[in-house]
Amino acid sequence: MINAILIFNNHGKPRLIRFYQYFAEELQQQIIRETFHLVSKRDDNVCNFLEGGSLIGGSDYKLIYRHYATLYFVFCVDSSESELGILDLIQVFVETLDKCFENVCELDLIFHMDKVHYILQEVVMGGMVLETNMNEIVAQVELQNRMEKSEGGLSAAPARAVSAVKNMNLPEMPRNINIGDLNIKVPSLSPF
Amino acid sequence: MPAVSKGDGMRGLAVFISDIRNCKSKEAEIKRINKELANIRSKFKGDKALDGYSKKKYVCKLLFIFLLGHDIDFGHMEAVNLLSSNKYTEKQIGYLFISVLVNSNSDLIRLINNGIKNDLASRNPTHMNLSLHCIANVGSREMAEAFAADIPRILVAGDTMDSVKQSAALCLLRLNRTSPDLVPMGEWTARVVHLLNDQHLGVVTSATSLITTLAQKSPDDFKTSVSLAIARLSRIVTSASIDLQDYTYYFVAAPWLSVKLLRLLQCYPPPEDGALRGRLTECLETILNKAQEPPKSKKVQHSNAKNAVLFEAIALIIHHDSEPTLLVRACNQLGQFLQHRETNLRYLALESMCTLASSEFSHEAVKTHIETVINALKTERDVSVRQRAVDLLYAMCDRSNAKQIVAEMLSYLETADYSIREEIVLKVAVLAEKYAVDYTWYVDTILNLIRVAGDQVSEEVWYRVIQIVINRDDVQGYAAKTVFEALQAPACHENLVKVGGYILGEFGNLIAGDSRSSPLVQFKLLHSKFHLCSVPTRALLLSAYIKFINLFPEVKATIQEVLRSDSQLRNADVELQQRAVEYLRLSTIASTDILATVLEEMPPFPERESSILAKLKRRKGPGNQPGAEEARQERERERERERSLNGSAEHREGGAAASAKSSPSVDVLSVAALPTNRPRPVSSVSLMQTPFLASCAAPSSLSAGPMTSLYPSADLLGPTGSPPSTGGSLLVDVFSDSLQAGPAPLDLAPPNTAVSEDNFSRFICKNNGVLFENQLLQIGLKSEYRQNLGRIYVFFGNKTSNQFLDFSSTVNCPDLLKTKLNVHTKPADPTIDAGAQLQQILNIECLEDFTPAPVLDIQFRYGGTLQNFGVKLPVMLNKFFQPTEMEAQDFFQRWKQLGAPQQEVQKIFKAKHPMDTEVTKAKIMGFGTALLDGVDPNPTNFVGAGVIHTKNTQVGCLLRLEPNTQAQMYRLTLRTSRDTVSQRLSDLLSEQF
């Protein structure tokens, strides 16, 4: 079972958190900090698995993570999951994000947190892998989108707002996750 | 076209987020957030009804604020409104907010359930999916109660859409995990199993996850899934990958489903049916073959997916452990991966090989890789991988390679990462003991361990070396010589001083013949370390000194001089001072004979399994057991240990006073109570025993003189007394076990509201001690009673390295008790820091005689999980006894007065403990009555009298206990003026003998 999914950037700022096991809010934040601490000090070409931090349950749990440009995607899982399977699941999730957002970048995650949640929900449900077929996932997301469009009223709210915001002069504008070519976009795994 | 059009945002939200991002400082950010929270709050509270769009926007903002780490304590009502809306987008955000922010305790659940109910019944697949997601994500008991019946129906209904089936399967799985009792599968079982045949691979994947979990709980019900799973797997493995279209991932056919199916098969033994078995073997062979084929793609995703299936297939082969050819192939495959350039594969190969090492078919094959693994330990850059290498070395160790592996681990230890040192120390200690043919090697290894990683050498490790040295006389001389040499080092670790002090104290005589290690030299060497050591070590050294006085009369004067110095006799630490005073006195007044008996060499310890192994096990999760066979043996031992532990605890209780009399060797350096894995129950008994023991032993063994006064400290001096043995504090051992243990595993903590009464009966005859203990918490009591009033000091010790939050402890009286007993509690602090102790005071007033006991309800949060349990408080009627002394004549007169049949309760029962007069006397006094000598004409009988004080009345009680040593039986007669009191007292007291 997947106990938690954490996405944070290179500075440890959370971009999406999802817990499938109850933790009090404060503890959730501590877990994020602990996980960031554990993951961020690792070199890019070491392995993608490590034992869970003490807060989340220690060595009975594994942290499986990938580092894409500015973002870390970390899944905390118990021993019933296949490590490589989860590693690929992260890849599927990111590729799906990339398809849905067209060249996804950190800003997309920030400004469309709800959408990212919805996409994640199509992949993982209650801590279990729901769907692994990217086409199916994207189809579901498109379906949602069409329904949203048809309810026009609310999404008709200023459509240019975000693009305007995106071009505002923001501090630390993150780079693209750069998912264009799969071989390059996984920097930790590129030395082939 | 991108599936998410980026323009669809909400302007207010986007602006807010940009504001936050533009904040220059944390303070500015908090200010901006507080402003927004106030704004949203006022909007939600305002008179103007908000439209769906605004609500959605505000809820989104709250989610964002929550993500930044701020508590959100409102907005739930609005979210519930949103999820009840007809508009999809509103429903969606409402559900999202609830699944992220509502914990399972929320009061809102009922409202939410209503919304879910409507959506489940709507037959609109997207709405159904949203509601199923919500149930699965929240997974609370209320939800399980409300929907456990509907979901299986949705899952197996013919007209349910595939995507809904997928969600329903996982939803059911979640509910089964959280509230298994509410999700009976029964009638659905067959149809759920048949989902494995479903057309849609997504449905099959979810169903496989569900069935795997269910099959782990009740394998027999789901046996039929084995053949279906094998059939499915075979179709996937042998298919040309194009058959599965979308479920082919980078040229690998349905990797996730294959992994899940292989996991499911790991719930069962190899199939008995030959054809089926053949088909499975064929699948596994195909998977192994594919690993040797050239990759169809250079992309890492391709190799990952392929290897995910491969590792799972190997796991299944290891699990079945029945096909030698497959096992050897698996081992070779893993051997290849051990040298793979990809770190992930090396990591996983090391991990899988650990389990492979325990198979009899492949143990030898695994051993051939020893050089590679040792090399990994030396050269891997990643600590996670090195740790797996240590695990594998541990698993592959046997008699043939033990010396090599232990040597490699020791040398690795010198540079090992801090985080894994303690574990390596434990592993080395276990291996060294397990495979020691030659115990000099064992002693050398442990001393090396202390030298290299002294700080990580826990008590268990150095206790164990002492036990072994004491028990094997062939190694004692060598041990004494070696510690003596090791102590010569200018800076040696305190643990070495402890071991050295103990061993020289016991066996220093074996090397005293050599002038280089004459008694005086030994003593000076030890004493040169004294001032650098902590109090417990100094205490141990003082005991070693008194043993020296016995062993070597020639250094008596020197040692007495040391004991007499102000720094000892007037030491600020009461424990050290007491030892100095008592030992000095003992050495002055006791004859050599008495000294020799009192300070005799320690008798051998009962052979027990290593406590280190237990500790190692506690540190590691179940996934890390050294091997199946070993695991089985360990379980066996565990059970045995539990038996012996219970037995020995009782034995001690019963036999303690006896040993005070009959075995005069003072266990000055007692390790007796510590040895096994959970020394606490035993040691707590002995700690509590001491005062009572000293008092009852005193009159009967005057000749032993100072010995009895030694007793209170005797136990404290032993390693049992544990590091913080400052003074005679009752709870000295609260921390000793846990501090080094790191994060305590949660398994032993009772998660539900079970009421523990394990130690209840031990408190019938005494007032102080440890009432309850698990991995997290220790509860100790000190109580005092006067007439009908009592006061209990409850000590809660946090044994973990994390804080307990939301701590509460309340006393709960059953209804029957409320009119009979008043318990007044002072509320306790809501937090207990790591390793800290909290004291709570209970004031008790007895109004009337009573039978049930109040329950202490304890609740706290540890690591996110709520711990909640009750402990029966040892407040019983006999606590309100006042002893009454009387003459024989008075006694018989009253006895006759209480002659009515209902006033007398008599009970005949078998002795549960050794029948020892002194112990029995102490127990009767501990029970609260006076012990009357010379009343009963038969001197072996015991007679007691006392008055129970309640607020309303006083009840006089007389009792008589007749032991029959031949039959190992007792007869207990109680007469009181009230039948309920007679009955209750008889029930309480008869349990004690």
The SS3 call for residue B242 is helix
Q: Chain A residues with CB inside 8 Å of B9's CB?
A: 111-112, 157, 161-162
Is B121 in the A-facing interface, judged by CB distances under 8 Å?
no
Which one of A48, A133, A148 has the shortest CB-CB distance to B344?
A48
Entry pTM: 0.63
Contacts of B808 (CB under 8 A, 6+ apart): B827, B828, B830, B857, B858, B859, B860
**Residue A165 contacts B, CB cutoff 8 Å:** yes
Token pair of B451, please?
Answer: 């030298």
Taking the C-alpha atoms of residue B918 and residue B979, their distance in angstroms, rounded to an integer, is: 30
Run of H or E including B957: strand B954-964
Q: Taking CB atoms and an 8 Å limit, are A148 and B347 in contact across chains? A: no
Interface check for B136 against chain A (CB to CB < 8 A): the answer is yes
Other beta carbons within 10 angstroms of residue B632's beta carbon come to 12
Q: Give the chain A residue whose CA is nearest to the CA of B60.
A: A114
CB-CB neighbors (< 8 A) of B621 in chain A: 58-60, 79
Is B49's Cβ below 8 Å from some Cβ in A? no
Q: How far apart are CA B754 and CA B676, in angstroms?
A: 27
Mapped onto helix, strand or coil, the DSSP state of residue B334 is: helix
Chain A residues within an 8 Å CB radius of B7? 159-163
Burial environment of residue B913 by CB neighbours within 10 A (0 to 12, 13 to 18, 19 or more): middle
Helix (H) / strand (E) containing B843: strand B837-846
* C-alpha to C-alpha distance for B71 and B84, rounded to whole angstroms: 24
B621 to chain A, any CB pair closer than 8 A? The answer is yes
CB contact under 8 A, A15 and B385: no
Rounded CA separation B296/B128 (Å): 40
- Bridge partners (DSSP) of residue B778 are B773, B797
Whether residues A162 and B7 touch (CB distance < 8 A) is answered with: yes
User: A92 — phi, psi (to 5°)?
Assistant: -60, -45
**What DSSP string describes A88-132?**
HHHHHHHHHHHHHHTS-BHHHHHHTHHHHHHHHHHHEETTEE---
* For helices B76-83 and B52-67, angle between their N-to-C axes, nearest 10 degrees: 130
- Cα distances (Å, whole numbers) of residue B322 to A25, A55, B325, B819: 48, 39, 9, 66
Between B311, B387, B743, which is nearest A54 by CB? Answer: B743
Q: For residues B135 and B131, what is the distance between their CA atoms, to the nearest angstrom? A: 6
Calpha distance B617→B728 (Å, rounded):
32
The interface residues of chain B toward chain A in range 187-206, judged by CB-CB distance below 8 A, are: 201-202, 205-206
Q: How far apart are CA B33 and CA B841, in angstroms?
A: 43
Which residues, including other chains, have CB under 8 Å from residue B391's CB and lie 6 or more apart?
Answer: B350, B351, B354, B624
CA distance B179 to B161: 26
A104: nearest Cα among A114, B451, A93, B718: A93
Closest Cα of chain A to B316: distance in Å?
13
Q: What is the pLDDT of residue B799?
A: 84
Q: CB distance A100–B9 less than 8 Å? A: no
By three-state DSSP, how is residue A154 classified?
coil
Name the residue type at position B658.
Answer: A
DSSP state of B804: B
Residue A14: its chain B contacts at CB < 8 A?
Answer: 67-69
In the numeric block, which tokens belong to residue B636? 């066996």
| Of residues B506, B421, B503, the one with CA closest to residue B455 | B421
Q: Is some CB atom of chain A closer than 8 A to the CB atom of B251?
A: no
B96 touches chain A (CB under 8 A): yes
In angstroms, how far is the first alpha carbon of chain B from the final one? Answer: 83
Put simply, the chain B residues between 384 and 413 with a CB less than 8 A from any chain A CB are 384-385, 387
Contact indicator for B923, B860 with CB cutoff of 8 Å: no
Run of H or E residues at A51: strand A49-51
Q: Chain B residues with CB inside 8 Å of A192's CB?
A: 298, 300
For B80-144, the DSSP string reads: HHHHTSSSHHHHHHHHHHHHHH--TT-TTHHHHHHHHHHHHHT--HHHHHHHHHHHHHH--HHHH
CB distance A107 to A7 below 8 Å: no
Give the number of other CB atoms < 10 A from CB of residue B896: 9
> Residue B947: in which H helix or E strand, if any?
strand B942-949
User: Closest-CA residue in chain B for A138?
Assistant: B3
Q: Smallest CA–CA separation between B58 and chain A, in Å? A: 12
Determine whether the interchain pair B801/A108 forms a contact, defined as Cβ–Cβ distance below 8 Å.
no
CA distance A8 to chain B (A): 11
- Eight-class DSSP state of A71: E
Locus of tokens 């038996």: B643
Alpha-carbon distance B270 to nearest alpha carbon in chain A (angstroms): 20
Q: Which of B4, B132, B300 sits opposite A112 (nearest CB)?
A: B4
CA B471 → CA B467, B485, B603, B615, distances in Å?
Answer: 6, 22, 8, 22
- Residue A137: strand, helix, or coil: helix
List B residues 59-78 in contact with A (Cβ-Cβ < 8 A): 60, 63-64, 66-69, 71-72
d(CA B165, CA B144): 18
pLDDT at position B356 is 87
Facing B89 at nearest CB: one of A110, A151, A160: A151
Q: Is A78 helix (H, G, I), strand (E, B) or coil?
A: coil
For residue B204, the one-letter residue type is V
- The residue of chain A with its CA nearest to that of B303 is A84
- Closest C-alpha among B267, B265, B175 to residue B229: B265
pLDDT at position A30 is 92
Residue among A18, A112, A125, A182 with most chain B CBs within 10 A, to mutate: A125
Rounded Cα gap, residues B916 and B263, in angstroms: 58
Residue ranges in chain B whose pLDDT is less than 50: 1, 3, 5-7, 621-636, 638-752
Instruction: Find, among B366, B368, B326, B371, the residue nearest to B349 by Cα.
Output: B366
Q: A130–B92: do the CB atoms touch at under 8 Å?
A: no
Please name the member of B3, B308, B742 whose beta carbon is closest to the beta carbon of A100: B3
Q: How far is B19 from chain A (nearest CA, A)?
A: 10
How distant, in Å, are the alpha carbons of A85, B404, B664 from that of A42? 21, 31, 60
| Binding-site positions of B | 11-12, 43, 53, 57-61
Q: Are B559 and B549 in contact (CB under 8 A)?
A: yes
Rounded to a whole number of angstroms, the distance from the CA of A82 to the nearest CA of chain B is 7
- Residue B364, helix vs strand vs coil: helix
Q: How far apart are CA A100 and CA A79, in angstroms?
A: 31
Inter-chain residue contact A101 with B802, CB threshold 8 Å = no
User: Pick from A134, A183, A176: which is nearest to B3 by CA?
Assistant: A134
- Of residues B15, B174, B249, nearest to A126 (C-beta): B174
Closest CA to B706 of B597, B603, B558: B597
Nearest chain B residue to A100 by CA: give it.
Answer: B3
A68 forms beta bridges with: A71
**CA–CA dist B340, B189 (Å, integer):** 44
How far, CA to CA in Å, does B818 sit from each of B178, B754, B984? 35, 21, 18
Rg of chain B taking only CA atoms, in angstroms = 35
Give the helix, strand, coil percentages of chain A, each rounded to 5. Answer: 45, 20, 35
Helix A134-150 and helix B125-138: axis angle, to 10°? 110
Neighbour tally for B746: CB within 10 Å: 18
User: How far off is chain A from B620, nearest CA to CA, in Å?
Assistant: 7
- B346 to chain A, any CB pair closer than 8 A? The answer is yes
Interchain contact, A60 vs B66, CB within 8 Å: no
Does residue A161 belong to the interface with chain B, where contact is any CB pair within 8 Å? yes
Task: Determine which of B1, B6, B130, B738 to mutate to test the interface with A (most A C-beta atoms within 10 Å).
Answer: B6
Cβ–Cβ contact A80 with B under 8 A: yes
Of A129-133, A172-176, B38-42, B514-518, the poorest mean pLDDT is in A172-176
Nearest CA in chain A to B309: A85
d(CA B683, CA B323): 48
Beta carbons of A47 and B347 less than 8 Å apart: yes
Q: What is the pLDDT of residue B674?
A: 34
* Cα–Cα nearest to B920, from B874, B960, B889: B960
Here the tokens at position B415 are 């540079």
Q: Output the average pLDDT for chain A.
A: 79
How far away is chain B from the Cα of A80, in angstroms, using its nearest Cα?
A: 8
* Structure tokens belonging to residue B603: 């008798």
**C-beta separation of B802 from A27 below 8 A:** no
The secondary structure of B553-618 as a DSSP string is GGGHHHHHHHHHSHHHHT-SSHHHHHHHHHHHHHHHHS-HHHHHHHTPPPPPPPP---HHHHHHHH
Interface test with A, best of B1, B4, B179 (most A CBs within 10 A): B4
pLDDT score of B9: 61
Chain A / chain B CB contacts < 8 angstroms = 265
Locate A114 and state its tokens.
């709800």
Q: Do B308 and A189 touch (CB under 8 A)?
A: no
Instruction: List the one residue out of B788, B844, B842, B846 whose CA is nearest residue B820.
Output: B846
Specify the pLDDT at position B625: 40
Please tell me whether the interface predicted TM-score (ipTM) of this complex is above 0.85: no
CB B674 within 8 A of CB B718: yes
Q: Which residues of B touch A32 (CB under 8 A)?
A: 69
Nearest residue of B to residue A146 by CA position?
Answer: B3
